[in-house]
Structure 1
Amino acid sequence: MRQGAVGHVRSVERHGRFLVEKRFADPRRRDTEVLALRELLHQGLPVPELVEVGPEAVLMTLMPGERLDAGSADLRLDRLRASTTWLRRLHELRPPGRLPSAPDDALTARRYRDAGGPALPLVVPPAGRPAFCHGDWTDGNLLAVDAGITAVLDWEAAHLGDPLRELSRAAWAAARKDPRSFDALVSGYGADPSAVRAWFPVHAAELWLWFAGAGPPEYLEQLTRELVRWPDA
């Protein structure tokens, strides 16, 4: 059994209690997840509780629910909209010290151009007030029962960053599955759609570089075809 989309995750039993064991290849990502979950324990967000932190693995409580996209397309939209309540609340929290810094988007733009990716209007928007960001607000990291969000998982990419950038990344990724997802997330959060769209080329370049480095090749080919048609991608 897996919860979340990153890392080596499995369900385990300890003294009659079912827990989730997560292993990390990078101890820095483990440390970030532990820092974030400890900070969020009493903040009201639906996150797992840490049970045991070891040098190679972390044990945490098993959260209820299914992946956000496990139901129908319309139910997914309702769940995306519901998730914005928790995303706003996260961004309003005081960030803990020692959170990693935001991704270097200027560096991403330079690397993308150097790698020969399809032409994009790569202008990095001015950063807003830094906030506590999850780092990967996607279907696989959100659990739901009916239309209610029951868990936000995989905090290993948490960082101090621009909340609008995080919303935009979630909206761009979600809209690649269903274009209606953009309105569900942006209107639910209460953001300016044009400001959200301004970040889209950055996310496209970031994902293209990821596929170029980690594959699989067919994903890179598909995304390349999409980006050649920008801004219709």
Structure 2
Amino acid sequence: MQPLRHGYTNDTRGDGAVVVKRYQGGIDEVLRRGTELGVLERRPAGMPVPRVLGAPEGALRLEQLSGMHGQDLIDEGLARPVLRSCGELLRRLQKVDVSQVFPGAAAGTGWVVVHGDFGPNNMLFDPDTFRVTGLLDWEWAHPGDPIEDLAWCEWIVRRHHPRAVEDLGELFSGYGVRPSWARRQQSAAARCESFVERFRNGPAPARRKWQENLTLTLSWAE
């Protein structure tokens, strides 16, 4: 099996049919694996997610889905159709019954299924139609506020694809609404703060990286 591109935290390898994902990162590996396994076993309705083929200790064996990685398509100058598809898929995801994916989620809270790292960084696309063929890496999933995934998708673009910031309108067009910049920035900053806290007693380079990300996020203007 060969290492897959765009794997940053975990050791992810594939052979064209099967992906083996071994959880790394120094913190919360067991929790993250359990979260992803639970979500994929319950398969959010209508979502293009891989089938679980096995669950060896510390890892998952998953179906390898076809498609081009979203970040590669953006780097090829195709941010507009990619971001529109991101918005459309997120709108569909937020219509999934949250209690189907998280049986303990309370009804009537207004919560939705939050992917937790939603964006072109974790999506595969048909390169001709830009239909999403894979929404990957559910290890941060949880019930939560609808703004979370939308704001984080925007954060991924602003942080890693600055030349595509001018195309972010397509994300909101696909999603169907553009919440205020204050809400979006606040949500993204809160996510960065959660990583600063996560690494409070962990590796210093990781803590510094997320502190820098937080400072940068707070400096942005729409």
TM-score range, shorter chain: 0.7 to 0.9
Residue 202 (structure 1) shift: 3.9
Once residues 173 and 40 of structure 1 are traced to their aligned partners in structure 2, the CA distance between those partners, rounded to angstroms, is 25
Residue 39 (structure 1) shift: 1.5
> What per-residue deviation string (whole Å, max 9, x for no partner) do you get for residues 19-73 of structure 1?
00011241111111111112216x2211111111122221011111221021345
Q: CA RMSD in A?
A: 3.0
Q: Aligned match of 2:124 in 143, 146, 151?
A: 143
Q: Aligned match of 2:173 in 187, 195, 211?
A: 187
Amino acid at match of 1:193: P
Once residues 148 and 141 of structure 1 are traced to their aligned partners in structure 2, the CA distance between those partners, rounded to angstroms, is 14
State the partner residue of 1:81. 84
Structure 2: 5+ residue runs without aligned partners? none
Q: Give aligned-pair identity as a percent.
A: 25
Structure 1: 5+ residue runs without aligned partners? 102-127
- Conserved in 1, the CA contact under 8 Å of 2:114 and 2:148? no
Larger CA deviation: 70-79 vs 32-41: 70-79
State the partner residue of 2:69. 67
Amino acid at match of 2:83: L
Once residues 193 and 68 of structure 2 are traced to their aligned partners in structure 1, the CA distance between those partners, rounded to angstroms, is 28
Once residues 156 and 173 of structure 1 are traced to their aligned partners in structure 2, the CA distance between those partners, rounded to angstroms, is 17
| Distance change in 2, residues 1:153/1:224 (3 Å) | closer
Amino acid at match of 1:40: R
| Distance change in 2, residues 1:55/1:224 (3 Å) | closer
Q: Secondary structure at the match of 1:156?
A: coil
- Conserved in 2, the CA contact under 8 Å of 1:133 and 1:163? yes
Once residues 172 and 31 of structure 2 are traced to their aligned partners in structure 1, the CA distance between those partners, rounded to angstroms, is 31
Once residues 34 and 211 of structure 2 are traced to their aligned partners in structure 1, the CA distance between those partners, rounded to angstroms, is 34
Once residues 141 and 99 of structure 1 are traced to their aligned partners in structure 2, the CA distance between those partners, rounded to angstroms, is 26
Q: Secondary structure at the match of 1:93?
A: coil
Once residues 33 and 225 of structure 1 are traced to their aligned partners in structure 2, the CA distance between those partners, rounded to angstroms, is 29
Residue 222 (structure 1) shift: 6.2
Structure 2 matches for 1:71-220, cutoff 5 A? 71=73, 72=75, 74-95=77-98, 96-98=101-103, 129-146=110-127, 147-176=130-159, 177-178=161-162, 179-194=165-180, 197-204=182-189, 206-207=191-192, 210=195, 213=199, 215=205, 219=209
- Conserved in 2, the CA contact under 8 Å of 1:3 and 1:153? no
Q: Secondary structure at the match of 1:199?
A: helix
Aligned residues: 200
> What per-residue deviation string (whole Å, max 9, x for no partner) do you get for residues 73-121 of structure 1?
54122112112222111111112235799xxxxxxxxxxxxxxxxxxxx
> What per-residue deviation string (whole Å, max 9, x for no partner) do you get for residues 182-218 of structure 1?
3121221012331x54231342354366469453698
Structure with bigger gyration radius: 1
| Distance change in 2, residues 1:28/1:209 (3 Å) | closer
What is the TM-score normalised by the length of structure 1?
0.72
| Distance change in 2, residues 1:135/1:227 (3 Å) | closer
Higher relative contact order (CA 8 A, sep 6+): 1
Q: Secondary structure at the match of 2:173?
A: helix
